[in-house]
Structure 1
Protein backbone atom coordinates (compact mmCIF):
# COMPACT_ATOMS: atom_id res chain seq x y z
CA UNK A 1 0.00 0.00 0.00
CA UNK A 2 1.00 3.62 -0.58
CA UNK A 3 -0.04 6.57 1.54
CA UNK A 4 0.45 10.34 1.64
CA UNK A 5 -0.24 12.01 4.96
CA UNK A 6 -0.08 15.34 6.82
CA UNK A 7 -1.21 17.56 3.96
CA UNK A 8 -2.78 20.09 6.35
CA UNK A 9 -0.88 22.94 4.66
CA UNK A 10 -2.96 22.42 1.51
CA UNK A 11 -6.42 22.24 3.06
CA UNK A 12 -7.27 25.73 1.80
CA UNK A 13 -7.00 24.69 -1.84
CA UNK A 14 -10.22 24.61 -3.85
CA UNK A 15 -9.52 20.96 -4.66
CA UNK A 16 -7.14 18.59 -2.96
CA UNK A 17 -6.54 15.75 -5.45
CA UNK A 18 -3.11 14.34 -4.58
CA UNK A 19 -1.39 11.60 -6.54
CA UNK A 20 2.08 10.09 -6.25
CA UNK A 21 4.52 9.86 -9.16
CA UNK A 22 7.33 7.26 -8.95
CA UNK A 23 10.29 7.64 -11.31
CA UNK A 24 13.25 5.50 -12.34
CA UNK A 25 15.20 7.34 -15.01
CA UNK A 26 12.82 8.43 -17.77
CA UNK A 27 10.04 6.00 -16.76
CA UNK A 28 7.31 7.43 -14.56
CA UNK A 29 4.21 5.72 -13.13
CA UNK A 30 1.49 7.22 -10.94
CA UNK A 31 -1.15 6.30 -8.40
CA UNK A 32 -4.77 7.39 -8.94
CA UNK A 33 -5.92 10.71 -7.48
CA UNK A 34 -7.18 10.76 -3.92
CA UNK A 35 -10.05 13.14 -3.20
CA UNK A 36 -10.00 15.99 -0.64
CA UNK A 37 -8.15 14.12 2.08
CA UNK A 38 -5.38 15.32 4.38
CA UNK A 39 -4.35 11.69 4.91
CA UNK A 40 -4.60 9.47 1.83
CA UNK A 41 -4.27 5.69 1.55
CA UNK A 42 -3.95 4.24 -1.94
CA UNK A 43 -5.10 0.81 -0.84
CA UNK A 44 -3.96 -2.20 -2.90
CA UNK A 45 -2.04 0.04 -5.33
CA UNK A 46 1.17 -1.46 -6.67
CA UNK A 47 3.75 0.28 -8.86
CA UNK A 48 6.14 -1.82 -10.97
CA UNK A 49 9.26 -0.23 -12.44
CA UNK A 50 12.22 -1.82 -14.21
CA UNK A 51 15.65 -1.15 -12.71
CA UNK A 52 18.49 -1.50 -15.21
CA UNK A 53 21.78 -0.12 -13.83
CA UNK A 54 23.29 0.01 -17.32
CA UNK A 55 20.52 2.20 -18.69
CA UNK A 56 20.47 4.34 -15.55
CA UNK A 57 24.29 4.65 -15.58
CA UNK A 58 24.62 3.56 -11.98
CA UNK A 59 21.84 5.78 -10.65
CA UNK A 60 20.06 3.90 -7.88
CA UNK A 61 17.55 6.39 -6.49
CA UNK A 62 13.81 6.06 -6.79
CA UNK A 63 12.40 9.55 -7.22
CA UNK A 64 9.06 10.27 -5.57
CA UNK A 65 6.87 13.28 -6.30
CA UNK A 66 3.50 14.18 -4.83
CA UNK A 67 1.29 16.30 -7.09
CA UNK A 68 -2.07 17.94 -6.69
CA UNK A 69 -4.56 18.19 -9.52
CA UNK A 70 -5.74 16.49 -12.67
CA UNK A 71 -2.99 14.34 -14.17
CA UNK A 72 -4.27 15.04 -17.67
CA UNK A 73 -4.26 18.85 -17.39
CA UNK A 74 -3.10 21.27 -14.71
CA UNK A 75 -1.33 19.88 -11.68
CA UNK A 76 0.93 21.44 -9.05
CA UNK A 77 3.98 19.79 -7.52
CA UNK A 78 3.54 19.58 -3.73
CA UNK A 79 6.86 18.04 -2.77
CA UNK A 80 9.59 15.55 -3.65
CA UNK A 81 11.72 12.87 -2.04
CA UNK A 82 14.05 10.07 -3.10
CA UNK A 83 15.30 6.77 -1.74
CA UNK A 84 18.17 4.38 -2.48
CA UNK A 85 16.63 1.13 -3.75
CA UNK A 86 19.61 -1.21 -3.22
CA UNK A 87 19.06 -1.85 0.52
CA UNK A 88 15.70 -3.39 -0.45
CA UNK A 89 17.26 -6.09 -2.68
CA UNK A 90 15.28 -9.28 -1.94
CA UNK A 91 14.12 -7.66 1.30
CA UNK A 92 10.91 -5.66 1.47
CA UNK A 93 11.18 -2.55 3.62
CA UNK A 94 8.78 0.17 4.66
CA UNK A 95 9.92 3.59 3.51
CA UNK A 96 8.81 6.82 5.16
CA UNK A 97 9.88 10.06 3.49
CA UNK A 98 9.16 13.64 4.50
CA UNK A 99 8.34 15.65 1.41
CA UNK A 100 10.78 18.41 0.59
CA UNK A 101 9.93 21.62 -1.30
CA UNK A 102 10.03 21.30 -5.10
CA UNK A 103 13.53 21.23 -6.61
CA UNK A 104 14.99 20.19 -3.26
CA UNK A 105 15.64 16.45 -2.98
CA UNK A 106 16.86 15.05 0.36
CA UNK A 107 19.52 12.39 0.70
CA UNK A 108 16.90 9.91 1.85
CA UNK A 109 17.28 6.32 2.96
CA UNK A 110 14.92 3.45 3.85
CA UNK A 111 13.07 4.19 7.08
CA UNK A 112 15.05 3.83 10.30
CA UNK A 113 13.88 5.57 13.48
CA UNK A 114 17.51 6.46 14.33
CA UNK A 115 18.20 8.28 11.03
CA UNK A 116 18.35 12.09 11.28
CA UNK A 117 16.84 12.54 7.79
CA UNK A 118 13.44 11.66 9.24
CA UNK A 119 13.56 14.88 11.26
CA UNK A 120 13.71 16.97 8.05
CA UNK A 121 10.01 17.73 8.27
CA UNK A 122 9.22 20.72 6.09
CA UNK A 123 5.57 20.72 7.10
CA UNK A 124 4.29 19.77 3.66
CA UNK A 125 3.54 16.09 4.16
CA UNK A 126 4.96 12.60 4.19
CA UNK A 127 4.82 9.64 1.80
CA UNK A 128 4.91 6.03 3.04
CA UNK A 129 5.19 2.84 1.00
CA UNK A 130 6.78 -0.59 0.87
CA UNK A 131 9.75 -1.07 -1.46
CA UNK A 132 11.23 -4.30 -2.82
CA UNK A 133 13.94 -4.82 -5.45
CA UNK A 134 13.79 -8.25 -7.09
CA UNK A 135 16.40 -9.78 -9.42
CA UNK A 136 15.54 -10.76 -12.97
CA UNK A 137 16.94 -13.92 -14.52
CA UNK A 138 19.35 -12.51 -17.12
CA UNK A 139 19.01 -15.49 -19.46
CA UNK A 140 15.24 -15.30 -19.30
CA UNK A 141 15.44 -11.54 -19.86
CA UNK A 142 17.53 -12.14 -22.99
CA UNK A 143 14.98 -14.65 -24.29
CA UNK A 144 12.09 -12.24 -23.66
CA UNK A 145 13.88 -9.50 -25.59
CA UNK A 146 14.32 -11.94 -28.49
CA UNK A 147 10.69 -13.05 -28.32
CA UNK A 148 9.51 -9.44 -28.40
CA UNK A 149 11.75 -8.69 -31.38
CA UNK A 150 10.29 -11.74 -33.14
CA UNK A 151 6.72 -10.60 -32.38
CA UNK A 152 7.39 -7.14 -33.81
CA UNK A 153 9.06 -8.62 -36.89
CA UNK A 154 6.05 -10.88 -37.53
CA UNK A 155 3.68 -7.92 -37.15
CA UNK A 156 5.71 -5.86 -39.63
CA UNK A 157 5.71 -8.75 -42.13
CA UNK A 158 1.93 -9.15 -41.84
CA UNK A 159 1.41 -5.42 -42.32
CA UNK A 160 3.68 -5.46 -45.38
CA UNK A 161 1.76 -8.39 -46.92
CA UNK A 162 -1.51 -6.54 -46.34
CA UNK A 163 -0.11 -3.37 -47.85
CA UNK A 164 -0.73 -1.42 -44.65
CA UNK A 165 1.76 0.52 -42.51
CA UNK A 166 2.41 -0.60 -38.94
CA UNK A 167 0.22 1.55 -36.64
CA UNK A 168 2.17 4.07 -34.59
CA UNK A 169 0.98 3.70 -31.02
CA UNK A 170 0.73 6.48 -28.46
CA UNK A 171 0.77 6.21 -24.67
CA UNK A 172 -2.87 7.34 -24.66
CA UNK A 173 -3.83 4.27 -26.73
CA UNK A 174 -3.45 2.08 -23.65
CA UNK A 175 -6.36 2.01 -21.20
CA UNK A 176 -7.00 0.53 -17.79
CA UNK A 177 -8.62 -2.84 -18.17
CA UNK A 178 -7.90 -6.53 -18.33
CA UNK A 179 -6.07 -8.83 -20.72
CA UNK A 180 -8.08 -12.04 -20.99
CA UNK A 181 -6.43 -15.17 -22.33
CA UNK A 182 -7.57 -18.72 -22.82
CA UNK A 183 -4.75 -21.18 -23.47
CA UNK A 184 -6.22 -23.88 -25.70
CA UNK A 185 -3.44 -26.23 -26.77
CA UNK A 186 0.32 -26.55 -27.05
CA UNK A 187 1.44 -28.65 -30.00
CA UNK A 188 4.58 -29.87 -31.79
CA UNK A 189 6.66 -29.92 -28.62
CA UNK A 190 10.19 -31.39 -28.74
CA UNK A 191 10.03 -35.14 -29.27
CA UNK A 192 11.69 -35.98 -25.95
CA UNK A 193 8.86 -34.18 -24.09
CA UNK A 194 6.28 -36.46 -25.69
CA UNK A 195 8.35 -39.69 -25.53
CA UNK A 196 9.20 -39.15 -21.85
CA UNK A 197 5.68 -37.95 -21.01
CA UNK A 198 7.07 -34.78 -19.46
CA UNK A 199 4.84 -32.76 -17.16
CA UNK A 200 4.49 -29.26 -18.57
CA UNK A 201 2.69 -26.02 -17.75
CA UNK A 202 2.12 -22.66 -19.39
CA UNK A 203 3.19 -19.49 -17.61
CA UNK A 204 1.84 -16.03 -18.43
CA UNK A 205 3.68 -12.85 -17.44
CA UNK A 206 2.45 -9.25 -17.60
CA UNK A 207 4.76 -6.94 -15.70
CA UNK A 208 5.46 -8.76 -12.45
CA UNK A 209 2.11 -10.56 -12.51
CA UNK A 210 2.77 -14.24 -13.21
CA UNK A 211 0.12 -16.92 -13.68
CA UNK A 212 0.58 -20.64 -14.23
CA UNK A 213 -1.71 -23.18 -15.80
CA UNK A 214 -2.36 -26.56 -14.27
CA UNK A 215 0.25 -29.21 -15.05
CA UNK A 216 -0.49 -31.50 -18.01
CA UNK A 217 1.28 -34.41 -19.67
CA UNK A 218 3.00 -33.51 -22.94
CA UNK A 219 1.36 -35.00 -26.02
CA UNK A 220 1.49 -34.33 -29.76
CA UNK A 221 -1.45 -32.01 -29.19
CA UNK A 222 -1.43 -31.05 -25.50
CA UNK A 223 -4.79 -29.85 -24.23
CA UNK A 224 -4.66 -27.06 -21.64
CA UNK A 225 -8.02 -25.23 -21.93
CA UNK A 226 -7.55 -22.76 -19.09
CA UNK A 227 -8.71 -19.14 -18.75
CA UNK A 228 -6.76 -16.23 -17.26
CA UNK A 229 -7.64 -12.59 -16.65
CA UNK A 230 -4.79 -10.18 -15.90
CA UNK A 231 -5.39 -6.62 -14.75
CA UNK A 232 -3.54 -3.89 -16.63
CA UNK A 233 -3.17 -0.24 -15.63
CA UNK A 234 -0.86 1.74 -17.97
CA UNK A 235 -0.16 4.23 -15.17
CA UNK A 236 1.23 1.51 -12.93
CA UNK A 237 2.74 -1.12 -15.25
CA UNK A 238 5.45 -0.02 -17.66
CA UNK A 239 5.50 -3.20 -19.76
CA UNK A 240 3.29 -3.33 -22.85
CA UNK A 241 3.72 -7.00 -23.74
CA UNK A 242 2.33 -10.29 -22.50
CA UNK A 243 4.73 -13.25 -22.42
CA UNK A 244 3.44 -16.80 -22.75
CA UNK A 245 5.99 -19.45 -21.82
CA UNK A 246 6.03 -23.25 -21.80
CA UNK A 247 7.94 -24.98 -19.00
CA UNK A 248 8.75 -28.57 -18.02
CA UNK A 249 8.02 -29.28 -14.38
CA UNK A 250 10.98 -30.87 -12.68
CA UNK A 251 10.62 -34.37 -11.26
CA UNK A 252 9.70 -34.02 -7.60
CA UNK A 253 11.29 -36.02 -4.84
CA UNK A 254 9.37 -37.21 -1.78
CA UNK A 255 8.41 -34.28 0.45
CA UNK A 256 9.40 -31.63 -2.11
CA UNK A 257 7.13 -28.63 -2.58
CA UNK A 258 5.20 -28.72 -5.86
CA UNK A 259 5.24 -24.90 -5.90
CA UNK A 260 9.04 -24.78 -6.08
CA UNK A 261 9.85 -23.93 -9.71
CA UNK A 262 13.51 -22.98 -9.37
CA UNK A 263 14.76 -25.97 -11.38
CA UNK A 264 11.93 -26.16 -13.91
CA UNK A 265 13.12 -26.28 -17.53
CA UNK A 266 12.19 -23.57 -19.99
CA UNK A 267 11.13 -24.85 -23.42
CA UNK A 268 10.12 -21.67 -25.21
CA UNK A 269 7.38 -19.13 -25.56
CA UNK A 270 6.01 -16.14 -27.40
CA UNK A 271 5.43 -12.41 -26.79
CA UNK A 272 2.14 -10.67 -27.60
CA UNK A 273 1.63 -6.93 -28.06
CA UNK A 274 -1.86 -7.04 -26.62
CA UNK A 275 -2.80 -3.47 -27.65
CA UNK A 276 -3.80 -4.88 -31.04
CA UNK A 277 -6.57 -6.87 -29.38
CA UNK A 278 -8.24 -3.91 -27.66
CA UNK A 279 -11.97 -4.58 -28.09
CA UNK A 280 -10.87 -7.03 -30.77
CA UNK A 281 -10.92 -10.63 -29.43
CA UNK A 282 -9.10 -13.14 -31.63
CA UNK A 283 -8.01 -16.74 -31.70
CA UNK A 284 -4.32 -17.14 -32.53
CA UNK A 285 -1.90 -19.93 -33.34
CA UNK A 286 1.56 -18.61 -32.43
CA UNK A 287 4.93 -20.24 -33.02
CA UNK A 288 7.00 -20.81 -29.91
CA UNK A 289 10.42 -19.14 -29.79
CA UNK A 290 12.95 -21.44 -28.10
CA UNK A 291 15.88 -20.57 -25.86
CA UNK A 292 18.90 -20.27 -28.17
CA UNK A 293 21.28 -20.72 -25.23
CA UNK A 294 19.94 -24.15 -24.43
CA UNK A 295 21.32 -27.31 -26.03
CA UNK A 296 17.90 -28.37 -27.28
CA UNK A 297 16.93 -29.85 -30.62
CA UNK A 298 15.18 -27.30 -32.81
CA UNK A 299 11.43 -27.69 -32.98
CA UNK A 300 8.49 -25.84 -34.46
CA UNK A 301 6.12 -25.82 -31.53
CA UNK A 302 3.10 -23.55 -31.28
CA UNK A 303 0.52 -22.43 -28.77
CA UNK A 304 -3.14 -21.89 -29.64
CA UNK A 305 -5.00 -19.31 -27.60
CA UNK A 306 -7.79 -16.76 -27.44
CA UNK A 307 -6.91 -13.21 -26.42
CA UNK A 308 -8.84 -10.00 -25.75
CA UNK A 309 -7.85 -6.66 -24.21
CA UNK A 310 -10.96 -5.14 -22.66
CA UNK A 311 -11.29 -1.72 -20.97
CA UNK A 312 -12.87 -1.43 -17.52
Structure 2
Protein backbone atom coordinates (compact mmCIF):
# COMPACT_ATOMS: atom_id res chain seq x y z
CA UNK A 1 0.00 0.00 0.00
CA UNK A 2 1.43 3.36 -1.05
CA UNK A 3 1.58 6.28 1.35
CA UNK A 4 -0.38 9.40 0.34
CA UNK A 5 0.63 12.57 2.16
CA UNK A 6 1.37 16.23 1.78
CA UNK A 7 3.86 18.65 3.35
CA UNK A 8 3.71 22.42 3.70
CA UNK A 9 6.82 24.57 3.49
CA UNK A 10 6.98 28.21 4.64
CA UNK A 11 9.50 30.92 3.78
CA UNK A 12 12.40 31.11 6.23
CA UNK A 13 12.64 34.85 6.80
CA UNK A 14 16.21 34.49 8.04
CA UNK A 15 17.32 33.05 4.70
CA UNK A 16 18.32 34.83 1.49
CA UNK A 17 14.85 33.98 0.15
CA UNK A 18 13.08 36.26 2.62
CA UNK A 19 11.87 38.49 -0.24
CA UNK A 20 9.44 35.70 -1.19
CA UNK A 21 7.46 36.15 2.02
CA UNK A 22 3.76 36.67 1.21
CA UNK A 23 4.39 37.45 -2.46
CA UNK A 24 1.78 36.11 -4.92
CA UNK A 25 3.18 34.07 -7.76
CA UNK A 26 2.79 36.76 -10.43
CA UNK A 27 4.97 39.11 -8.34
CA UNK A 28 7.55 36.35 -7.88
CA UNK A 29 7.76 36.05 -11.65
CA UNK A 30 7.89 39.81 -12.13
CA UNK A 31 10.79 40.12 -9.68
CA UNK A 32 12.43 36.99 -11.13
CA UNK A 33 12.86 35.40 -7.72
CA UNK A 34 13.80 31.76 -7.31
CA UNK A 35 11.62 29.38 -5.29
CA UNK A 36 14.05 26.94 -3.71
CA UNK A 37 13.67 24.55 -0.80
CA UNK A 38 16.74 26.07 0.86
CA UNK A 39 14.67 29.23 1.46
CA UNK A 40 11.91 27.33 3.28
CA UNK A 41 11.20 25.39 6.44
CA UNK A 42 8.76 22.51 6.70
CA UNK A 43 5.68 23.42 8.73
CA UNK A 44 3.84 20.11 8.80
CA UNK A 45 3.37 16.77 7.10
CA UNK A 46 0.08 14.84 7.09
CA UNK A 47 -1.47 11.78 5.51
CA UNK A 48 -4.29 12.19 2.99
CA UNK A 49 -6.65 9.84 1.20
CA UNK A 50 -5.96 8.46 -2.25
CA UNK A 51 -8.79 10.66 -3.60
CA UNK A 52 -7.31 13.92 -2.31
CA UNK A 53 -5.75 16.43 -4.68
CA UNK A 54 -3.82 19.65 -4.13
CA UNK A 55 -7.07 21.59 -4.61
CA UNK A 56 -9.08 19.58 -2.07
CA UNK A 57 -6.27 19.89 0.49
CA UNK A 58 -5.97 23.63 -0.13
CA UNK A 59 -9.72 24.18 0.17
CA UNK A 60 -9.88 22.17 3.38
CA UNK A 61 -6.88 23.83 5.08
CA UNK A 62 -6.97 27.23 3.36
CA UNK A 63 -7.11 29.16 6.62
CA UNK A 64 -3.82 27.65 7.77
CA UNK A 65 -1.89 28.52 4.60
CA UNK A 66 0.06 31.70 3.94
CA UNK A 67 0.66 33.31 0.56
CA UNK A 68 4.12 32.11 -0.58
CA UNK A 69 3.78 28.69 1.12
CA UNK A 70 4.69 25.67 -0.99
CA UNK A 71 2.51 22.55 -0.94
CA UNK A 72 4.32 19.29 -1.77
CA UNK A 73 1.98 16.40 -2.55
CA UNK A 74 3.10 12.76 -2.59
CA UNK A 75 0.47 10.63 -4.35
CA UNK A 76 1.40 6.98 -4.76
CA UNK A 77 5.10 7.91 -4.80
CA UNK A 78 4.72 10.73 -7.35
CA UNK A 79 5.71 14.20 -6.13
CA UNK A 80 4.14 17.45 -7.31
CA UNK A 81 4.71 20.95 -5.91
CA UNK A 82 2.46 24.03 -5.83
CA UNK A 83 3.07 27.67 -4.94
CA UNK A 84 0.22 29.14 -2.90
CA UNK A 85 -1.16 32.57 -3.76
CA UNK A 86 -4.18 34.20 -2.16
CA UNK A 87 -6.84 32.56 -4.29
CA UNK A 88 -5.07 30.04 -6.53
CA UNK A 89 -2.38 27.36 -6.69
CA UNK A 90 0.41 27.34 -9.27
CA UNK A 91 2.29 24.13 -10.15
CA UNK A 92 6.03 24.80 -9.95
CA UNK A 93 9.16 22.87 -10.88
CA UNK A 94 12.62 22.71 -9.40
CA UNK A 95 11.58 23.16 -5.75
CA UNK A 96 12.80 19.64 -4.88
CA UNK A 97 15.67 18.15 -6.83
CA UNK A 98 17.30 14.80 -6.28
CA UNK A 99 21.05 15.29 -6.37
CA UNK A 100 22.11 11.70 -6.99
CA UNK A 101 25.79 10.86 -6.81
CA UNK A 102 27.12 10.04 -10.27
CA UNK A 103 24.02 11.35 -12.08
CA UNK A 104 24.48 12.18 -15.77
CA UNK A 105 21.22 14.03 -16.41
CA UNK A 106 19.80 17.11 -14.70
CA UNK A 107 17.57 20.03 -15.69
CA UNK A 108 20.74 21.81 -16.79
CA UNK A 109 21.53 19.11 -19.36
CA UNK A 110 21.99 20.43 -22.92
CA UNK A 111 23.74 19.08 -25.99
CA UNK A 112 23.19 15.48 -24.86
CA UNK A 113 23.77 12.76 -27.46
CA UNK A 114 21.67 9.61 -27.60
CA UNK A 115 22.95 6.40 -29.12
CA UNK A 116 21.81 5.80 -32.72
CA UNK A 117 20.02 9.17 -32.85
CA UNK A 118 20.98 12.24 -34.80
CA UNK A 119 21.54 15.66 -33.30
CA UNK A 120 21.67 16.74 -29.68
CA UNK A 121 19.05 16.68 -26.92
CA UNK A 122 18.20 18.87 -23.95
CA UNK A 123 16.23 18.41 -20.71
CA UNK A 124 12.96 20.37 -20.75
CA UNK A 125 10.91 18.80 -17.93
CA UNK A 126 11.17 16.31 -15.08
CA UNK A 127 9.09 14.25 -12.70
CA UNK A 128 9.81 12.52 -9.38
CA UNK A 129 8.36 9.04 -8.90
CA UNK A 130 9.19 6.79 -5.93
CA UNK A 131 11.99 9.12 -4.89
CA UNK A 132 13.70 8.98 -8.29
CA UNK A 133 13.95 11.77 -10.83
CA UNK A 134 13.18 11.27 -14.52
CA UNK A 135 13.82 13.77 -17.30
CA UNK A 136 12.06 14.59 -20.54
CA UNK A 137 14.59 15.27 -23.29
CA UNK A 138 13.61 17.02 -26.51
CA UNK A 139 15.62 17.44 -29.69
CA UNK A 140 17.64 20.66 -29.46
CA UNK A 141 16.78 21.74 -33.02
CA UNK A 142 13.36 20.25 -33.75
CA UNK A 143 11.93 20.32 -30.19
CA UNK A 144 8.30 19.06 -30.17
CA UNK A 145 8.34 18.27 -33.91
CA UNK A 146 9.94 14.91 -33.14
CA UNK A 147 9.05 12.48 -30.31
CA UNK A 148 10.85 13.06 -27.04
CA UNK A 149 12.48 10.51 -24.75
CA UNK A 150 12.46 10.04 -20.97
CA UNK A 151 15.71 9.13 -19.21
CA UNK A 152 16.56 8.46 -15.60
CA UNK A 153 19.34 10.43 -13.89
CA UNK A 154 21.92 7.93 -15.16
CA UNK A 155 20.92 8.05 -18.82
CA UNK A 156 18.78 4.90 -19.00
CA UNK A 157 15.82 5.19 -21.39
CA UNK A 158 12.60 4.80 -19.39
CA UNK A 159 10.10 5.78 -22.11
CA UNK A 160 10.55 6.29 -25.83
CA UNK A 161 8.54 7.91 -28.61
CA UNK A 162 7.01 10.36 -26.12
CA UNK A 163 4.58 12.81 -27.74
CA UNK A 164 2.58 14.25 -24.83
CA UNK A 165 5.12 14.76 -22.08
CA UNK A 166 4.54 12.99 -18.78
CA UNK A 167 1.05 11.76 -19.53
CA UNK A 168 -0.47 8.73 -17.76
CA UNK A 169 0.88 6.29 -20.34
CA UNK A 170 4.44 7.55 -19.90
CA UNK A 171 4.14 7.46 -16.11
CA UNK A 172 3.00 3.86 -16.34
CA UNK A 173 5.98 2.95 -18.53
CA UNK A 174 8.28 4.44 -15.89
CA UNK A 175 6.55 2.56 -13.08
CA UNK A 176 6.72 -0.70 -15.03
CA UNK A 177 10.49 -0.35 -15.23
CA UNK A 178 11.19 0.70 -11.66
CA UNK A 179 8.74 -1.85 -10.19
CA UNK A 180 8.99 -4.90 -12.49
CA UNK A 181 6.40 -7.66 -12.51
CA UNK A 182 8.72 -9.97 -10.57
CA UNK A 183 8.11 -7.86 -7.48
CA UNK A 184 4.53 -9.13 -7.27
CA UNK A 185 5.92 -12.63 -6.70
CA UNK A 186 7.78 -11.56 -3.54
CA UNK A 187 6.42 -12.64 -0.20
CA UNK A 188 4.89 -9.87 1.97
CA UNK A 189 7.87 -10.16 4.32
CA UNK A 190 10.40 -9.63 1.50
CA UNK A 191 8.37 -6.74 0.08
CA UNK A 192 8.41 -5.08 3.51
CA UNK A 193 12.18 -5.49 3.75
CA UNK A 194 12.61 -4.10 0.22
CA UNK A 195 10.53 -1.01 1.08
CA UNK A 196 12.54 -0.52 4.25
CA UNK A 197 15.79 -0.53 2.26
CA UNK A 198 14.39 2.17 -0.06
CA UNK A 199 13.26 4.43 2.78
CA UNK A 200 16.57 3.93 4.56
CA UNK A 201 18.34 5.30 1.47
CA UNK A 202 16.07 8.37 1.54
CA UNK A 203 16.86 8.84 5.22
CA UNK A 204 20.63 8.70 4.59
CA UNK A 205 20.40 11.09 1.63
CA UNK A 206 18.44 13.64 3.62
CA UNK A 207 15.80 14.17 0.94
CA UNK A 208 12.20 15.24 1.62
CA UNK A 209 10.97 11.65 1.26
CA UNK A 210 12.89 10.79 4.39
CA UNK A 211 9.79 12.17 6.13
CA UNK A 212 7.64 9.38 4.74
CA UNK A 213 8.71 6.94 7.41
CA UNK A 214 7.61 9.43 10.05
CA UNK A 215 4.05 9.01 8.80
CA UNK A 216 4.09 5.43 10.10
CA UNK A 217 5.92 6.11 13.35
CA UNK A 218 4.62 7.42 16.64
CA UNK A 219 7.13 10.28 16.75
CA UNK A 220 9.57 11.85 14.32
CA UNK A 221 12.50 10.84 16.52
CA UNK A 222 11.55 7.22 15.85
CA UNK A 223 12.57 7.51 12.19
CA UNK A 224 15.34 4.99 12.59
CA UNK A 225 15.17 2.60 9.64
CA UNK A 226 12.85 0.11 11.38
CA UNK A 227 9.20 -0.18 10.38
CA UNK A 228 6.95 0.66 13.35
CA UNK A 229 9.92 0.36 15.68
CA UNK A 230 10.17 -3.42 15.47
CA UNK A 231 13.23 -4.59 17.40
CA UNK A 232 16.16 -5.72 15.34
CA UNK A 233 16.88 -9.45 15.37
CA UNK A 234 19.93 -10.21 17.51
CA UNK A 235 22.94 -11.19 15.47
CA UNK A 236 24.37 -14.66 16.00
CA UNK A 237 28.01 -14.44 16.88
CA UNK A 238 30.39 -17.15 17.90
CA UNK A 239 31.71 -16.77 21.38
CA UNK A 240 35.42 -16.21 21.25
CA UNK A 241 37.70 -17.00 24.13
CA UNK A 242 39.64 -13.93 25.06
CA UNK A 243 43.35 -14.47 24.98
CA UNK A 244 45.14 -13.25 28.04
CA UNK A 245 47.67 -10.60 27.11
CA UNK A 246 51.11 -10.61 28.69
CA UNK A 247 52.02 -7.39 30.49
CA UNK A 248 54.95 -5.22 29.46
CA UNK A 249 56.63 -5.83 32.86
CA UNK A 250 56.23 -9.57 32.43
CA UNK A 251 57.90 -9.40 29.01
CA UNK A 252 60.75 -7.37 30.52
CA UNK A 253 61.32 -9.88 33.34
CA UNK A 254 61.29 -12.76 30.86
CA UNK A 255 63.93 -11.02 28.76
CA UNK A 256 66.12 -10.35 31.84
CA UNK A 257 66.00 -14.06 32.80
CA UNK A 258 67.01 -15.12 29.27
CA UNK A 259 70.00 -12.72 29.35
CA UNK A 260 71.09 -14.00 32.77
CA UNK A 261 70.94 -17.64 31.63
CA UNK A 262 72.93 -16.95 28.43
CA UNK A 263 75.64 -15.03 30.31
CA UNK A 264 75.96 -17.70 33.05
CA UNK A 265 75.01 -15.27 35.77
CA UNK A 266 72.66 -16.19 38.63
CA UNK A 267 69.02 -15.15 38.19
CA UNK A 268 68.04 -12.41 40.67
CA UNK A 269 65.77 -13.73 43.42
CA UNK A 270 62.82 -11.45 42.56
CA UNK A 271 62.92 -12.67 38.95
CA UNK A 272 63.13 -16.30 40.08
CA UNK A 273 60.11 -15.79 42.31
CA UNK A 274 58.11 -14.23 39.48
CA UNK A 275 58.98 -17.12 37.19
CA UNK A 276 57.78 -19.65 39.74
CA UNK A 277 54.53 -17.74 40.24
CA UNK A 278 53.87 -17.64 36.47
CA UNK A 279 54.24 -21.44 36.26
CA UNK A 280 51.40 -22.03 38.72
- Which has the larger share of strand? 1
**TM-score band w.r.t. shorter chain:** under 0.3
Q: Which has the larger radius of gyration?
A: 2
- Which has the larger share of helix? 2
Query: What is the TM-score with the length of structure 1 in the denominator?
Result: 0.23
Query: What is the TM-score with the length of structure 2 in the denominator?
Result: 0.25
Compare relative contact order (CA 8 Å, sep 6+) and give the higher one, 1 or 2.
Answer: 1
